[in-house]
Amino acid sequence: MKQLLVASLAMLLMSSCNFLVNNETSKKEFVDGCKKEFVQMGVEVEDGLVEDYCTCSADKILSKFDIIDLIKMNDTTSQVYRESQELIKPCLDAFRAQLEEPEY
């Protein structure tokens, strides 16, 4: 019984040490920051399109990377940055496709 308790505690500690940030607060902060980037760049598109892109990106990034990786992501020469760009490519492709759709 004692060994089971020790093993359970060890598993709990290991799982809590990966610093994953996939929660609603982190997602909201990520999406808000992403939307602010669009504003700062002067990109004028529908809020819904930006929201969709930012939410898609947040879902992919936050489910894959931990807090340490997110910090490394600021370095555009890092492996994490390159992986993140590949990861969000479907989000960017969908965003571009929506921009190209004709308006009626």
pLDDT at 68: 87
User: Which CA distances in Å does 90 have to 11, 16, 18, 53, 84?
Assistant: 34, 30, 26, 9, 11
Q: Note the pLDDT tens digit of each residue in 69-79.
A: 888 888 999 99
Q: pLDDT above 90 covers what percent of the chain? A: 41
pTM of the model: 0.74
User: Which CA distances in Å does 83 have to 23, 61, 74?
Assistant: 21, 10, 12
- Domain locations in the chain as residue ranges: 19-100
Q: pLDDT above 70 covers what percent of the chain? A: 76
